[in-house]
Amino acid sequence: MTKSTSTELATETVLERESRNATKAMLTEFWYYFSQNKGAVIGLVVFAVLVAVALLAPLVAPHDPDVQYRDALLQPPFWQDGGSFAFPLGTDAVGRDILSRLIFGSRFSLFIGVVVVTIALVGGIVIGLVAGYARGWVDTLIMRVMDIILAFPSLLLALVLVAILGPGLVNAMIAIAIVLQPHFVRLTRAAVLAEVNRDYVVAARVAGAGHLRLMFKTILPNCLAPLIVQATLSFSNAILDAAALGFLGMGAQPPTPEWGTMLAEAREFILRAWWVVTFPGLAILITVLAINLVGDGLRDALDPKLKRS
Amino acid sequence: MSDTILKVRDLYRTYDIKGGLFKKPGKFTAVKGVSFDVERGSTLAIVGESGCGKSTLARMLTMIDAQTSGSIEIDGLPIDIAKTGISKDMRQKVQIVFQNPYGSLNPRQKIGHVLEEPLLLNTSMPAAERRDLALEMLTKVGLQPEHYGRYPHMFSGGQRQRIAIARAIMMKPKLLVLDEPVSALDLSVQAQILNLLKDLQDEMGLTYIFISHDLSVVRYLADKVMVMYFGEVVEYGTRDEVFGDPKHEYTRTLFAATPNADVDSIKARLAKKVA
Amino acid sequence: MPLLEIRNLKVEFATAKGPFKALDGVDYTVEAGEVLAIVGESGSGKSVAMLAVMGLLPDTATITADKMEFEGRDLRTLSAKERRKVIGKDISMIFQEPIASLNPCFTVGHQLEETLKAHTTLGRRERKARVIELMKAVGLPKPEERVSAFPHQMSGGQCQRVMIAMAIACAPKLLIADEPTTALDVTIQKQILDLLVKLQQDSGMGLIMITHDMGVVAETADRVIVQYKGNKMEEADVLSLFENPQHAYTRALLSALPENATGDRLPTVSDFVGAGGF
């Protein structure tokens, strides 16, 4: 090469700019299709607020979630008789501020979602890739095991697992991840089967790519779209399951301000103090709904079949 | 003595057909005892309709599938991947360009990486050198260096086929198998790609195995022509022999079926219609 | 009165990168008993016009026309229900991918019968007889056995014949064939083209052939419209188009045919017109 250094530098910057532009164009297109779905945008905003609240919990919450105000047991929310702005959403049976507990509880819910989805996604991708790529008896074995897991009612299986592992938030998360995993395995396998005979995979093989490279670098990136959608939907599922386990006393243990656990503690006050049950329930509902809406929007944006040219 | 680069003798490929509930398992022979030679720097066209075994043949020549029996020798190197596996040496001899430019490029891979992949996997070339080579190849096939960082979906069909060709010649192969490289393209783009293929052949001394169902393209490009029908070679000869005096019944049917765009045949058709 | 008359048809698609003009004011006229070929490359908008007539474009498309009449009836003001009555009975269409156009869950006989059921008042037994008759008309061997065959048990050429049978089931006045032979082998292509032309001549219906293949145009058409990037380049009867093409783009297309190659290189479109297009 007998190029002068200045032109070489020039081409370098041009190349870099073009490469960045290409990435940007992909993102712009993604956002266009995502933003067509108004529900998804609303869901995304709600979810973003939720994340912000969770991160800034100590700053946002008016009270410490574990402090018990003995002179304000079961105080109703501020707009009812007997309520006050000191405890905007009222207090529970031992005088803890519900709003603060909900705010800190969002940390647990999001944490549960992230951890569970990560475990299930990584495990599901690896197992599904192997099954779809190897075919034969490996595939059969893996898929039958997954079928067995899927044959159990998911919450029941999670309960059994927690019973074996012992109650607690971490064990509950592991149990939920195991229960959700087969969905990812099946989805990955189906996507791999669709991709593996495409010409570009064969071309990579002709170029000399080995099995691992074919699986993870060539095929996997093209299977991600349905997995991302499934991951968001599983995120909300994980939150729901964790709340259910918490409600049954098998998840997070009191006094952790986890939403499901809060519901469980409030069970006996349903008739006397509606706010103790309603607000944690609403928090779960809104969070799950928001995430599902985002998942819907992602499906619109990522599924090429729905794209109009 | 002519310089033979590809020598194929008595090549067979048999597939097992799985038995179903009511079907007995069976065997299907896609390629039945094919033999031919290709001279260095020439173009052999393989013509036939879908299911005639031409793509199966291409897959064996490019080491995607193993042959059931028979021998393939590329540039003096015997190829039998079922027994010996594939070495880097073998890979550098032959590459393939697929028919569908929309399916043959990884949608999530930038063009630069598409081109560099063969080098990355088969040579120990440093990254900077690989990139220079990829840029050089882009200009060689008629694209711009700034296309390096773009994704396949930003290109038209013809441009993608240029990229696929560039990828195939990155390793400077001796033999290039072109599996219907222009049949998915528009007419005007087809002409550009055919011109490009001709230029590359002159410049790099490439040998082409050109698989096609389009006789007009074959006539334009090929030195020798081989017609396949249900896995067998029914006609094999130089272009002028085959087009001038087709021996086999099937070849004649094929020629008769090819649409004629010259004025005389249109006149004849219109005259017949009036009558 | 022409069979189909369209004036100044414009079609626009909404995309991520803003509106895309697929057709920019094109006129089409088809007389009864005439074979019109619309020829162009991908992106020329050659299929879009007929899809617009059929009402098969997605919601993202905006269609405007000064006139869009079939046998004097204004297609623009037709309600969805009235439109369905016209389409499928008086106008029908066949597509490029014959195997994908058939429902894999039902036998071809059943699918043919469904078409008859939707658009005619024939009784069950009459329908069955008509199905056999239709399959004979399109040259399917042993129609009595083929009736109960599923699409995957037939070849591409046979599936295309079934599609044609379905399209002519109600004796349409206009048949639109969108690249009917592109997915087929040459020998099969010849048979299908011959069949289409024969059916057209026997019934006197109008036939629109949408294609990219100049050879197909030469073998079938009476009149030709050449399109490029949503505009009409040239309209002529088939002989004068091939003998004496008026527009530079048509000349370019014709000389890009490998069989017309003179010398070592094929001329390309850019040899005839500037790189900027028209």
Angle at the Cα of B157 from the Cα atoms of B156 and B162, rounded to 5 degrees: 95
Name the pairing type of β-strands B175-179 and B94-97.
parallel
Please name the residue that has the structure tokens 């002028």.
Answer: B240
Confidence of residue A41 (pLDDT cuts 50, 70, 90): very high
Contact B65, B147 (CB under 8 A): no
Q: How far is CA C231 from CA B37, C41, C270, in A?
A: 49, 12, 18
Question: CA-to-CA distance for B203 and B206, rounded, in angstroms?
Answer: 8
* Averages of pLDDT over each 10 residues, chain B, 275 residues: 83 82 77 91 90 88 89 88 82 89 88 91 89 91 88 87 92 91 84 91 92 88 92 91 90 87 83 76
Nearest chain B residue (CA) to C222: B270
Q: What is the pLDDT of residue B228?
A: 92
Nearest to B266 among C218, C254, C258 (CB): C218
pLDDT at A218 over 60: yes
Nearest to A22 among B98, B151, B167 (CB): B151
In the structure encoding, which two tokens stand for residue B130, read together? 């690989």
pLDDT at A4 over 60: no
Please state the domain count of chain A: 1
Asked, for residue A17, whether it belongs to a domain, the answer is no
Q: What is the pLDDT of residue A73?
A: 83
In this complex, is the C-beta atom of B113 within 8 Å of any C-beta atom belonging to chain A? no
Among the residue ranges B162-171, C17-26, C224-233, the one predicted with the least confidence is C17-26
Question: CA-to-CA distance for A283 and C121, rounded, in angstroms?
Answer: 59
Q: Which residues of C touch B261 (CB under 8 A)?
A: 214-215, 217-218, 242, 254, 257, 259-260
Domain that residue B93 falls in = 4-274
Nearest chain C residue (CA) to B273: C201
Asked, for residue A151, whether it belongs to a domain, the answer is yes
- What is the crossing angle of helices C248-255 and B187-204, to 10°? 50
This model of the complex carries an ipTM of: 0.86
What percent of chain A has pLDDT above 90?
A: 33
Q: How far is CA C50 from CA A257, B187, B222, B255, in A?
A: 63, 22, 38, 32
Question: CA-to-CA distance for C219 and C73, rounded, in angstroms?
Answer: 32
Residue C202 identity? D
CA distance C151 to chain A (A): 22
pLDDT at A67 over 80: yes
Domain that residue A230 falls in = 36-306
CB contact under 8 A, A15 and B91: no
Write the DSSP string, B17-30: EPP-SSS--EEEEE
CB contact under 8 A, A309 and C15: yes
* C37 DSSP 8-state letter: E
What percent of chain C has pLDDT above 90?
A: 22
**What's the mean pLDDT when you consider all of chain C?**
86
Domain with A169 in it: what CATH number? 1.10.3720.10
Question: CA-to-CA distance for B252 and B256, rounded, in angstroms?
Answer: 6
CB contact under 8 A, B219 and C259: yes
Domain with B8 in it: what CATH number? 3.40.50.300
In this complex, is the C-beta atom of A9 within 8 Å of any C-beta atom belonging to chain B? no
CA distance A29 to chain C (A): 6
CB contact under 8 A, B151 and A208: no
Give A192-198's long-range contacts (Cβ < 8 A, gap of 24+).
Answer: A192/A128, A192/A129, A192/A131, A192/A132, A192/A133, A192/A219, A192/A223, A193/A132, A195/A219, A195/A222, A195/A223, A196/A132, A196/A133, A198/B103
Mean pLDDT of C190-209: 90
Confidence of residue A7 (pLDDT cuts 50, 70, 90): low
Confidence of residue C271 (pLDDT cuts 50, 70, 90): low
- Distant-in-sequence, close-in-space partners of B246: CB < 8 Å, separation ≥ 6: B235, B252, B255
Q: Which residues of C touch A308 (CB under 8 A)?
A: 13-15, 58, 60
Q: What is the pLDDT of residue B36?
A: 92
Q: What is the pLDDT of residue B19?
A: 67
Q: How many CB atoms lie within 10 A of CB C186?
A: 20
pLDDT at C242 over 60: yes
In this complex, is the C-beta atom of A136 within 8 Å of any C-beta atom belonging to chain B? no
Contact A40, A296 (CB under 8 A): yes
Chains that touch C (3 or more CB pairs under 8 A): A, B
Q: How many CB atoms lie within 10 A of CB B45?
A: 25
Contact B44, B224 (CB under 8 A): yes
Nearest to B104 among A20, A22, A199 (CB): A199
Closest CA to C191 of C226, C156, C167: C156
Confidence of residue A132 (pLDDT cuts 50, 70, 90): very high
* C267 DSSP 8-state letter: -
Question: CA-to-CA distance for C151 and C163, rounded, in angstroms?
Answer: 11
Closest CA to B159 of B205, B101, B108: B101
In this complex, is the C-beta atom of B133 within 8 Å of any C-beta atom belonging to chain A? no
Question: CA-to-CA distance for C230 and C26, rounded, in angstroms?
Answer: 8
In this complex, is the C-beta atom of A164 within 8 Å of any C-beta atom belonging to chain B? no
Question: CA-to-CA distance for C43 and A251, rounded, in angstroms?
Answer: 59
Q: C19 burial class (0-12, 13-18, 19+ CB within 10 angstroms)?
A: exposed
Please state the domain count of chain B: 1
Q: Which residues pair with C23 in a beta bridge?
A: C11
**What's the mean pLDDT when you consider all of chain A?**
86
CA distance B195 to chain A (A): 23
Among the residue ranges A186-200, A268-282, B42-56, C78-92, the one predicted with the least confidence is C78-92
Closest CA to C9 of C256, C278, C232: C232
Question: CA-to-CA distance for B196 and B182, rounded, in angstroms?
Answer: 12
In this complex, is the C-beta atom of B251 within 8 Å of any C-beta atom belonging to chain A? no
Q: What is the pLDDT of residue A1?
A: 44
Nearest chain B residue (CA) to A16: B149
Q: Is the peptide bond before A153 cis (omega within 30 degrees of 0)?
A: no
Asked, for residue A8, whether it belongs to a domain, the answer is no
Name the pairing type of β-strands C35-39 and C223-228.
parallel
Q: How many CB pairs under 8 A join A and C?
A: 12
CB contact under 8 A, A207 and B88: no
Question: CA-to-CA distance for A3 and B51, rounded, in angstroms?
Answer: 51
- For residues A218 and A305, the model is more confident at A218
CB contact under 8 A, B64 and A14: no
pLDDT tens track for C138-196: 888 888 888 888 888 888 888 888 999 988 888 899 999 998 888 788 888 888 899 99
Optimal mutation site among C11, C17, C48, interface A, most CBs of chain A within 10 A: C17
Q: What is the pLDDT of residue A307?
A: 47
CA distance B237 to chain C (A): 20
Q: What is the pLDDT of residue B44?
A: 95
Question: CA-to-CA distance for B239 and B219, rounded, in angstroms?
Answer: 7
CA distance C221 to chain B (A): 9
Q: Which residues of B touch A219 (CB under 8 A)?
A: none
Question: Which H or E run includes C57?
Answer: none
